[in-house]
A and B are shown apart, each in its own frame.
Chain A
Amino acid sequence: MALRISRRDFVKIAGTALALSSIPVSISVVSGFRQPSVSRLEAIGSQREAVRTFCGMCGALCGIQVVKVDGRIAYVEPLDGHPQRGLCGRSASTVWLWDSPLRLRKPLKRVGERGEARFQEVDWDTALNEIAAKLREVVAKYGYKSIAITHHDVWSYYMPLFSYLFGTPNVISHVGMCHASGTVARGHILGAGGPPSVDPDYENASYILFVSRTPGTASMGVLNRLRGNRKVRIVVVDPRMPEIGLGDAEWIPIIPGTDAAFLLSLAHVIIEERLYDETFLKYYSNAPFLIKPDGKPLTEADLVEEGDARKYMVWDAKTKKPVDHKTPGIDPDLLYEGDVTLKDGTVARVRTAFQLFRERCSKYKPEEASRITGVPAETIRRIARELALYKGVVDDTWFISKNGNDYDDVRAALILNVLLGNIDKPGGLCFQESARFPAVITVVTRDGKRYARTFYDVEMPEELFGDVGATRVDRTKYRATPATFDAILDAILTGDPYPVKALFVIGTTPIHRDMDVDKIKEALGKLDLLVVIDILPQDIVDYADYVLPDTTYLERDEFTTVKWTLHAAVHLQKKITEPPEGCDARSALWIMFEIARRAFPERARALGWRDEYADYHKFEEFEESLSEILVRKVADTWKIPLETLRKELEEKGYYILKSKEYMVRPYRVALGTPSGKCEIYSLTALGLGLDPLPDYRPPPAYPLPKADDEFYLVNGKGPLISAHALLMEPMRFFKHLWSVWMNPRDAERLGIKDGDIVELESLAKPGKRVKARVWVTEMVREKVLFTYSYVGRRSKLLPENHFARGGVNIHELNKAYVIPIVGGGASNTSVRVRRVT
């Protein structure tokens, strides 16, 4: 097969200048560097090969090349030209991952109590057969929907397939503890989806305001794009300084949980100083929509019999009449306020959405916002003016499940871009081009019957769907949520809305991801079956009934879309090596199919699984054929000759299907909002019973710190943070990872020195205490402590003195809080600090 052949055919970087100049991979590396005429510095006759692939050390999947020296994976380099060019410290630590002494090497079966981490090694057949038998038992008693699967980014493409394979709707990702509020807000304001569906145009922006985000340190491809832009000014607003603040970015330390007040105050200044883009607001947003006293938009149905309730009315300044907002040639009045006569003869006082928003923002005059946020009023005014002057862009956020009021933060951030009219323009907040990548499963109807059709053209008839059509547990509680795993914990604990009895945890670690470790542990204890598929001993492993070792990204093929780019692009991950000696890892795709084959054989068969794939080599052929099929389908969709696409993928590792085209949405293509326009007044939110406008509400998730020794405890990501990378040996030496950050003035006040041990007692859960080492640094605001995500490990499978035990797992100190309807969780909390040594 084509992919296989050139995989072996690594690009060779041989040791002569001639060879170098003829090989594209090294040309890009040496460009701008005149070859010095140097003699041999050391007699090293090394042979280097570079394999183009994409990184899997976090969910971002940046373009990299893995460099082997004399056959050894020696280091990782960014992949030049790739639209999301790596890399970062996580990726650099890949070299430690493959043969890590911590790697899970054999299937494990629990022999002690859950949490004791006492296991016995078993062979694959035993593990898979026993899991399948247990699953059949659970299903017989509670139905298919009592099976739940949770995951993060790895394997997420295949999750809908797993859903059909096991007949359950309950495939629930990490998103509730990551970007749920942002994703809901993006839908409500812009009709968009997950974090990359709209993104600042990093290459061309002249000014970017990041609020509560670690810009470009958690998808390094973004940083690369930012750093390629030499004119951009970067401002970061965060209680702790994101790493980019170490360089030339301006850091504005803000009181945690007050971002919405800050952003609405910016909007206030922009509106009152008339710095907004009036034309954009009039024609491409719902700012001029007329809103009735009950908060609903005035529609044609209010005015005439048989009127259309989807025709939203604006006040036309030319004709002095309410007209449908889509009427050509009108001049919608942004500031209208007055009476209109409804079809029943009554008179209603209407105001434009813009007026309502303006009134909302006026609650947050800079002096008032300063009192709430701790940011000087002058800074607020300056940032507002700079944003307008530079035609700036406000980032749409990423990891935002922090304070329980985050949905409003993102709405306010998005609306600022609408006010500035900087949507889908060069340097603005832009929509990502769709790669039109095939879905793993689509439901098709033929002759009145439904089939689940896979991208590899196999169909499963509806009688085998099991409970796939049932309402997902989290959606019964949080109607708008993209995914809220906390609802699964509730279902396990209470049986409401229905029991969940079996849980698969695939490449994710709920104990460092989800709120309230005590609640998680209690729920895990109540399961009939807990299966963890992973490559390293994350804390969740200790509770598993079965632990199944997965492959790393170096050990398998994958073909998928490039995530963090505005272009439509695809890239290829290549199997670079087998798992190390003695490591019997299998891909999660194989594992899930093999469990299904034993538990629900009709389903596995209907979804294209053959008995012979039990043989792992046969499976690898199947897996490779899946990549082939995806490549072919993408070639078909985009009408690219298959050979061209294959060749480009082989040679470059990536392919840009369509470059970003600006000024499309909402200008030529309607948005996915009810009005098709940017909605500063969200009609979707209104329909859900939410406030249609953003507002600042004090963080509801934890008590606010008051006394001298009370602090906010906040968490975040960074360029070394992922559940796997943090377990790699180099991380031991970076003390900022394994400490709680404290501002020097707080430290002085409390008599705490750098390196001291303190005890943190949760204010949200009194009595809950954790010890940690302090790093005294100006990188965190006064009255705030910071800890990275995924630190503070407890797994008994880690050596007693393992460095990853350092730091604080914030979920040991927080209490579960989920934003109603929206479904976003809150990871931050508050604590009392006491010096121990």
Chain B
Amino acid sequence: MVRLAHLWDMSRCVACMACVIACNSANFPEYMRSSNPNPQWSWLASNIKVWWISVGGRPRVLLTQCMQCDNAPCVKACPTKASHYDPKTGLVTIDYRLCIGCKACVVACPYGARWMDPESHMPNKCLGPECSSRIENGLKPVCVTVCPANARDFGDLDDPESSISRRVRESTTIRLREELGTKPRNVVVLRGG
């Protein structure tokens, strides 16, 4: 079994927004010129959200995207099984042929990782179409390759040889809001190895 996941390293990120912007142009080119492409988040058409936070009085930035929960509330909430785990990768995936745009998943996601597409009226989330196509072809997702700070990685957590597994081993990491029992796969590095 492969357990694909993203890693984002808070100790390396410089909030350059390359990943946020590239996610838009790669996955949602139709929304490049729109002034309000993602009304749900008041944001660009990107699957990455930026949170300016303060940790112990120290300013930090937190970047989030779909956490790839192994116990995903969105999948549970979906009345049509459009949101499902991909049988091969386990990634939370939307089958748009089944989606009825009811927003149950959008509401259910405790990370706010989904946003409604203003035209299709169906939810968007990471991975977007170009990134799905990339990983299928053995390439890392766009946000990972564009990062100049080496703050990102993507790969198989079950493969001890993968770069993401190595980084998890060598770093101090957390997963966000684990107390909810969502079993998020995505890793946040607090201190890099």
Contact = CB atoms under 8 A, between A and B. Distances in A.
Interface stretch (A159-167, A238-246, A545-553, A616-624): A238-246
A69 B132 CA distance: 14
B137 A89 contact: no
Most chain B CB atoms below 10 A, which of A39, A72, A216, A227: A227
B15 interface: yes
B98 to A, nearest CB: 14
A74 B139 contact: no
Contact of A34 (B21, B142, B162, B191): B162
Contact of B130 (A46, A89, A216, A732): A46
B88 A35 contact: no
Given A33-B138, A74-B29, A246-B61, A38 B88 contact: yes
B18 A227 contact: no
Contact of B155 (A33, A74, A223, A719): A33
A39 B42 contact: no
Nearest to B9: A247
B100 interface: no
B24 A730 contact: yes
A138 interface: no
Given A41-B132, A95-B32, A216 B14 contact: yes
A30 B26 contact: no
Interface stretch (A80-88, A200-208, A289-297, A683-691): A80-88
Interface string B135-178: 11111101001101111001110010111000000000000000
Interface residues of B, number: 69
B133 A93 contact: no
B127 to A, nearest CB: 7
B29 A719 contact: no
B129 interface: yes
A217 B25 contact: no
Most chain A CB atoms below 10 A, which of B10, B35, B43, B137: B137
Most chain A CB atoms below 10 A, which of B16, B148, B150: B148
Given A246-B60, A730-B44, A92 B129 contact: no
Nearest to A41: B132
Contacts of A732: 35, 44
B127 A17 contact: no
A140 interface: no
Interface stretch (B50-58, B66-74, B102-110): B50-58
A17 B137 contact: yes
A720 B14 CA distance: 11
Contact of B89 (A36, A69, A75): A36
A77 B10 CA distance: 21
B146 A78 contact: yes
B109 to A, nearest CB: 19
Interface in B1-20: 2, 4, 9-20
A41 B90 CA distance: 11
B91 interface: yes
Given A77-B146, A86-B148, A243-B14, A33 B140 contact: yes
Contacts of B16: 88-89, 217, 220, 223, 243, 719-720
Interface in A767-788: 777-779
Contacts of B43: 733
Most chain B CB atoms below 10 A, which of A38, A88, A227, A719: A38
A248 B11 contact: yes
A224 B163 CA distance: 18
Contact of B150 (A38, A74, A228, A730): A228
Contact of A92 (B11, B22, B87, B156): B22
B139 A26 contact: yes
A217 B61 CA distance: 15
Nearest to A215: B14
Nearest to B132: A41
A719 B154 CA distance: 23
A183 interface: no
Nearest to B87: A39
Nearest to A719: B16
Nearest to B19: A92
Given A41-B132, A44-B132, A227-B148, A87 B18 contact: yes
A325 B120 CA distance: 78
A26 B89 CA distance: 22
Contacts, number: 194
Nearest to A246: B61
Nearest to B12: A247
A227 B12 contact: yes
A778 B34 CA distance: 32
A76 B16 CA distance: 14
Given A247-B14, A719-B16, A75 B138 contact: no
Contacts of B101: none
Contacts of B93: 41
Given A75-B146, A76-B146, A92-B22, A30 B140 contact: yes
A33 B20 contact: no
B133 A42 contact: yes
A114 interface: no
B21 A92 contact: yes
A75 B22 contact: yes
Nearest to B21: A92
Contacts of A720: 16-17
Contacts of A91: 18
Contacts of B132: 41-42, 44
A228 B59 CA distance: 24
Most chain A CB atoms below 10 A, which of B13, B146, B150, B192: B146
A15 B133 CA distance: 9
B192 to A, nearest CB: 7
A29 interface: yes
A33 to B, nearest CB: 5
Interface in A57-80: 69, 72, 74-78
Contacts of B150: 224, 227-228
A224 B148 contact: yes
B12 A29 contact: no
Interface string A15-46: 11100100000100110111111111110101
B26 A29 contact: no
B2 A36 contact: yes
29 contacts: A15-B133, A30-B140, A32-B163, A33-B140, A36-B135, A38-B88, A41-B86, A46-B130, A74-B130, A75-B26, A76-B146, A88-B18, A89-B18, A92-B17, A92-B21, A92-B22, A92-B25, A227-B12, A246-B13, A246-B60, A248-B11, A248-B191, A719-B14, A719-B15, A719-B17, A729-B34, A730-B21, A733-B43, A778-B54
Pick the 7 closest A-B CB pairs, nearest first: A719-B16, A89-B17, A32-B163, A92-B21, A41-B132, A248-B11, A95-B25
Interface of B: 2, 4, 9-22, 24-26, 29, 32-35, 42-44, 50, 52, 54, 57-61, 86-89, 91, 93, 127, 129-130, 132-133, 135-140, 142, 145-146, 148-151, 154-156, 159, 161-163, 191-193
Given A13-B137, A17-B138, A719-B18, 13 more contacts: A20-B137, A36-B89, A38-B2, A38-B86, A38-B89, A41-B86, A96-B32, A217-B16, A244-B14, A246-B14, A729-B44, A730-B20, A733-B44
